[in-house]
Structure 1
Amino acid sequence: MAVHTGADDHVITVRRSPAALMTIWASRIFVRPMLWLLPLHSPIGVLGYRFTQVVACRMWLAAMLPATRVDATGPKGRTVGEWVGGPAQPGDRVIYYIHGSGYISCSPWTHRGLVSELSRRLHRPVYAVRYRRAPKYRFPAAHDDVLNGYLWLIEQGHRPADIVVMGDSAGGHLALGLCVQLRELGVDQPAALVGFSSVVDPTWQLAQAHGEHIWDQFVSARTGRRIMHTYLVGADFSDPRLNVLGAVGPDLPPMLLQTGGSEALGSDSEHYAAALRSAGGRCELEVWSDMFHVFQMGYPRMSEARSALDSVERFIENIDTNHTATA
């Protein structure tokens, strides 16, 4: 594995493992065609999309820690989710995880394997929020649920400095949007944010331009836009909760963004990292060559995914050390 580093950019060159090659093959012949063909305007199409995503997320048969369901009243309404790695005690350091899948699919259950691994590696419980999904619920339902989950954690006795927010794909977009909402409310930012293949531009224009240079084995920009439209139809894309690229600032938490070198969304993370650093914020960017969308899910079999999670460990250890030194 070769790592080429700039000031805050890391282009990590890896040789694809057999597990990665098998995943790419399966995506090309099953996942990408299914996502393209499914009619998302019909209930059957939505169910088909969700089934495809369940297969993609759970195909690794990852070991899962026990989960404790949460259904509670938060400061701004109901919060639903689950504690993975045991319910946290007030004052514990915790992870707040926001799952992805285009605002239309997946759940804490589909991501419980990855969330369990993060809990084991970082030695802290994870609250994985379950937000309302499209097409039944549209913007800003998911954003409201994610904000309420964060505020509920604070209400339970967790300081923002003890919370690390993580998200993948659309969950990464929600995580970035959460930081904007916290700014507007005058609520302290979390200790850090980690994004896996995060959506930054919900119009998918950045992805479309990037897609002219690479071929995404998982989803095209056109398909991604069609999927997210089920949640964003009628939305104002200038809203700072959506236009997170235009809402960067030095007050945002330190971030680690990881993306695959062969995914259409790769340029989203690149643009966000550059913009945040230009605005005076801290953002580390890792581009994993030849890797696909949210490849971290393959950690049980893929050496590349395990190495990426090793990097997450180092990033969070550094955050913890800095907080301890300044406490």
Structure 2
Amino acid sequence: MPSSPSPELSIKYKHLQLSLRSRITLFFMRVVGKPLLSRMMRGSIRKISNFQVLTASMEAPKHGINIDYQILGRSPGHTLGDISRTDQPIILWLHGGAFIMPAAPNAHLDTAARLCKKLGIPAFVPDYRLAPMHRFPAALDDCEEAYMELLSRGFAPERIALIGDSAGGNLLFGLLQRLRKRGVEAPACGIPVSPVTELSRIHGLPSRGRLRKGDVLLPISAFSSLGEAYIGEHDASDPEMSPLYMDCQGLPPLQFFVSDNEVLMDDGLYMARRCHEASVDTECHLWPSLPHAFPLFYNMFPEVADAHDEMADFISRHIATKTEAASDTEADAASVA
């Protein structure tokens, strides 16, 4: 079992017996998926643009959930389910994709639809601007705009669950910082999935070197190209780009999912430790063997159904708790009046 970066942080290690199908999938992911991702991350603007169009044009499994592309105010993106009723909870999913790829229908939208069906609530996946055409802070600006748009439509913060995978996990923490600066109430809870939390030192966190050969999906050698595409001339140690250095005080409850076989393992574990040390209600789930952002790959690894159950339970618990607390506050205010 991998050791925790902090003895104070209780890590929930998943004991897992991989199926033969999953082991075969891991092999093909290594020999096909990883080289393809490496070429994509190092590609020219023209090649990246082609990848963006191809990804967005894939068909998403619906699971009985209506998926539509809408423009909410100034926020384009995918809606899953009926968002016209604003008295219900909603998921705001900030998708990953190395800051250069749109939401993948067979991964991000598929997983979001599964959670929506489990919880009986809708979701919004903002189509934020992508690098290299739009560098930092364009993506974060768009995520902030999406959250504010949900509030303007009547969704209460205590009924919003925030999810971000990979680059989207980075944006999740950037958004929480933005909301705190504006004095805007944070969502009920957040779920960072394999978040990238340090962009200023490619070599910095130990797992990036130690697991560079074992990682079946992420090519650490392509991270410098990613930095050029997204960061540009900005100082990458800015906490809005490298949230590992942010002030974690006052963040909402967080549930991390990390694989012990990904180069970004320590990005997640060290960030979870910092949140825990700042007295944030922090869960950290460490799974063995599976790839980066594994909860998105149910179609490849049926074992991740357990992760979906844990995510749904976490959202249900914290939205119920925050909603009850908000109702009590309103009742107290009414009695005083």
TM-score, scaled relative to structure 2: 0.86
Query: What is the CA distance between 1:91 and its match in structure 2?
Result: 2.1
- Number of the residue aligned with 1:121: 118
* Residue identity opposite 2:301 in structure 1: M
- Number of the residue aligned with 1:65: 65
SS of structure 2 residue aligned to 1:114: helix
Distance 1:118 1:288 in 2: 19
Match runs of 1:219-230 below 5 Å: 219-230=218-229
Given that residues 45 and 133 in structure 2 are in contact (C-alpha distance below 8 angstroms), is that contact kept between their aligned partners in structure 1?
Answer: no
- Number of the residue aligned with 1:258: 257
Given that residues 89 and 319 in structure 2 are in contact (C-alpha distance below 8 angstroms), is that contact kept between their aligned partners in structure 1?
Answer: no
User: Where do 4+ consecutive residues of structure 1 move more than 3 Å?
Assistant: 4-8, 37-41, 47-55, 60-64, 203-208
SS of structure 2 residue aligned to 1:258: strand
Query: What is the CA distance between 1:195 and its match in structure 2?
Result: 1.4
Which structure would you say has the larger Rg? 2
Question: Do residues 138 (structure 1) and 135 (structure 2) align?
Answer: yes
Given that residues 253 and 280 in structure 2 are in contact (C-alpha distance below 8 angstroms), is that contact kept between their aligned partners in structure 1?
Answer: yes
Distance 1:187 1:311 in 2: 28
- Going from structure 1 to structure 2, the CA distance change for 1:109 and 1:298 (only over 3 Å counts) comes to closer
The Cα offsets for residues 240-292 of structure 1, whole Å up to 9 and x where unpaired, read as: 21121221323111100101110111111100010011112121110101111
SS of structure 1 residue aligned to 2:209: coil
TM-score, scaled relative to structure 1: 0.88
Given that residues 38 and 48 in structure 1 are in contact (C-alpha distance below 8 angstroms), is that contact kept between their aligned partners in structure 2?
Answer: no
Distance 1:127 1:268 in 2: 26
Identify the match of residue 40 of structure 1 among 39, 42, 50: 42
Query: What is the CA distance between 1:143 and its match in structure 2?
Result: 0.5
SS of structure 1 residue aligned to 2:229: helix
* Residue identity opposite 2:258 in structure 1: T
- Number of the residue aligned with 2:292: 293
The Cα offsets for residues 178-205 of structure 1, whole Å up to 9 and x where unpaired, read as: 0000011110110000111111112353
Given that residues 97 and 167 in structure 1 are in contact (C-alpha distance below 8 angstroms), is that contact kept between their aligned partners in structure 2?
Answer: yes
Match runs of 1:73-92 below 5 Å: 73=73, 78-92=74-88
- Equivalenced residue count is 318
Given that residues 35 and 49 in structure 1 are in contact (C-alpha distance below 8 angstroms), is that contact kept between their aligned partners in structure 2?
Answer: no
- More off after superposition, 307-316 vs 46-55: 46-55
Distance 1:108 1:69 in 2: 13
Question: Do residues 101 (structure 1) and 97 (structure 2) align?
Answer: yes
Given that residues 211 and 220 in structure 1 are in contact (C-alpha distance below 8 angstroms), is that contact kept between their aligned partners in structure 2?
Answer: no
Question: Do residues 147 (structure 1) and 144 (structure 2) align?
Answer: yes
Given that residues 79 and 149 in structure 1 are in contact (C-alpha distance below 8 angstroms), is that contact kept between their aligned partners in structure 2?
Answer: yes
Distance 1:179 1:238 in 2: 17
SS of structure 2 residue aligned to 1:124: coil
Question: Do residues 268 (structure 1) and 264 (structure 2) align?
Answer: no
* Residue identity opposite 1:99 in structure 2: H
* Residue identity opposite 1:138 in structure 2: R
5+ long unaligned stretches in structure 1: none
Query: What is the CA distance between 1:107 and its match in structure 2?
Result: 2.3
Given that residues 80 and 113 in structure 2 are in contact (C-alpha distance below 8 angstroms), is that contact kept between their aligned partners in structure 1?
Answer: yes
* Residue identity opposite 2:96 in structure 1: G
Percent identity (aligned):
24
